[in-house]
Structure 1
Amino acid sequence: MRAAVLVFPGSNCDRDLAVAFRQAGFDTQMVWHKDTDLPEGLDIVGVPGGFSYGDYLRCGAIAAQSPIMRAVAGFAERGGHVLGICNGFQVLCETRLLPGVLMRNAGLKFTCRMQPLTVATTDSPFTNAYKPGQEIALPVAHHDGNYQIDDAGLARLQAEDRIAFAYEGNPNGSVAHIAGVLSENRRVLGLMPHPERAVDAAHGNTDGGVLFASLAAALVAA
């Protein structure tokens, strides 16, 4: 299994994400944002958290225009798996690989804490190792994690079972407590919490490691 982790100016979780992939058995390569092509034979691309380009224009907006994101869009369109975490989720929404938008937290403050979540669906390569409705906890660290989508878009996400994770409580004002969503083909996942920061007992729990193990098992079984 092969993974690539993108690196933008301002990325601060790229190495953490690479460690999580490697721990799950992936041969992992870092890819610079100015590259125009992805490595051959990839199974998944990880778009990490951080503050790409300092969030100077709008979170993820500048990174979405990086040359490598055109290659990522093509990879996703061909059925490749993509995982966007925190700023990576924002980038995927800016590139329209996922619906909706991430806005300023409702409380207008940076939120950094261990956050209880509910696994809203297990029908995806990323979540099928969890139990339906399982309660887990993952770290959150964001200022612009308030997920919003119009009523029609929300109804579609709900009808198609594409809400992957939901907050218990609501740390940022997200509509319907949404913490993560899936693409139509269920192979692209974006979420604000950081599973890569919960893959080792030293992190406090290993709830995030289940996501990476789930993906690895799904790819092996495919």
Structure 2
Amino acid sequence: MVPTTTEPADRISRRQVDKFEERRRQLADAALLTLSELGYARTSLREIAQNSEFSHGVLHYYFRDKVELITYCVRRYKALCVERYDGIVATAAEPDGLLRGVADGLAATLEQDALLHRLWYDLRTQSLFEASFRADVAEIDGSLERMIWRTVEAYAALVGARPTCTSAFAYATVDGLFQQALLRHLAGTPDALDGLRDGVRRQLPTLVGA
């Protein structure tokens, strides 16, 4: 096959796009700490710049405003969460193992990344008031709902049953347990993580039946 004259230019263009995206990822990772500590309302691009090695001008070059930066950060983090739980589901060989894996995974991420999850709930609440957030929040919510539904379907298959609810109901159930556990954990309640583990192990089986 004879290369066309546009192929070198295409390769350069792709490299430029990849480099731009990699820089956005670096900026987002640097911004996450400030965002998770201060939340949406108290954070500006200037505040983020003051707490990172990047200037306000650099942040503004790669992100139009803090809305774009925050949604990019949360979308990136939640995508990693989905990959993590899909791995747990894919390797589970028996029902109890799946329940333990999912429950322990949720408790671990709540403990390790509580401030990041708080930022997600902050963003979701803001979408009730800020129309600019709604499409991104709906997309992230959809990915999390599908993740939970894959877990429910996997558990149902392992016990030889089938789901008895909708994916929206399953997501609302698990998300409610998680959010309440997050509130208790941030308030310093000692058994918040154990309560989440127990709640998930008890609740998931109720979502399937013969």
What band does the TM-score fall into relative to the shorter chain? Answer: under 0.3
Superposition TM-score, scaled by structure 2 size:
0.26
Instruction: Tell me which protein shows more helix as a share of its residues.
Output: 2
TM-score norm. by structure 1 comes to 0.25
Which has a greater percent of strand? 1
Greater Rg over alpha carbons, structure:
2
